[in-house]
Amino acid sequence: MAQLLDIECKMSPLLKHDSPMEQLASEILEYWNSKRIVVHRKYSRKTPLILKRITEDYSKEEIFKAIDNYVTVINDESYKFDYKWNLEIFLQKSNALPDFMDGGSKWINYLGSFNTAKSKKKPIPIVEIGEDPFLPDNDNSKFIIYNYSKMIKAFRFMPYEEYLQTEHWLHFKAEALKASGYKCRVCNGNDVLLNVHHNNYDNRGRETFNDVIVLCEGCHGKFHNK
């Protein structure tokens, strides 16, 4: 059942009456309330100011789409995500609105769970090493084709440390180590801790072996100290 919040709407001294941001706030509030997650009687006086900042990066349509994606995740009882934010928090939190954009990490994670856990089939590799996307002829192929470009965009812009935990990178890293013979490419050392170092980040999310080099800890440190 939707929660009902009665937030008094007061005019901001920085915005004129019926300003574009106030009109946009009304439209977004109406759209948000139609989803019946947390229902507001009125938007807060901060909302237009928040939107003034947000719309420097996102269009109204993108905000609506992020709300749609958030509602999809919230309403999926099989998926473990039950954070019910109010509109103001959703717009302000760094891990809310941006993460539920089509290329956002939470939306991508949800799509990944839809492709694996829900289908109860063996996960499909996102990228075949050194090749284009591996798209087997089964019921999942159209899903992967539709979302592939969005996943690549997400990989490129998510925090680097977060990217290093993705299924794609862990799979690629294992293949790169195997291709190197589990040896450092500089000193030829083996039986040591090895790192897969990016030579560049141009192809992040769809790397080939030319984009990385396998290094031991010592040689890896030298690369970063150049």
Structural domain boundaries of the chain?
1-93, 180-224
Q: Which residue has the tokens 């592939």?
A: 148
| Four-point Cα dihedral 88, 89, 93, 97, nearest 10 | -70
In whole angstroms, what is the distance from residue 91 CA to residue 45 CA?
Answer: 14
DSSP 3-state of 197: strand
Strands 38-40, 194-198: pairing is unpaired
**Could you tell me which of 17, 28, 112 has the C-alpha nearest to residue 73?**
112
Amino acid identity, position 98: P
Please list the alpha-helical segments (H only) found in the chain: 20-34, 47-54, 60-74, 87-92, 105-113, 141-157, 160-163, 167-179, 217-224
Spell out the per-residue pLDDT of the chain, length 226, in tens: 444 444 444 433 434 446 788 888 888 888 998 988 888 888 778 888 888 888 888 888 999 999 999 998 888 888 888 788 888 888 888 888 988 988 888 888 888 765 544 444 444 444 433 333 444 444 444 444 446 667 777 787 788 888 888 888 989 999 999 999 999 999 998 888 999 999 888 888 888 888 899 999 888 888 776 5
**Stated pTM of the model:** 0.46
What single letter denotes the amino acid at residue 144?
Answer: I
Nearest to 151 by CA among 202, 100, 108: 108
Helices 60-74 and 20-34 cross at an angle (nearest 10°) of 20
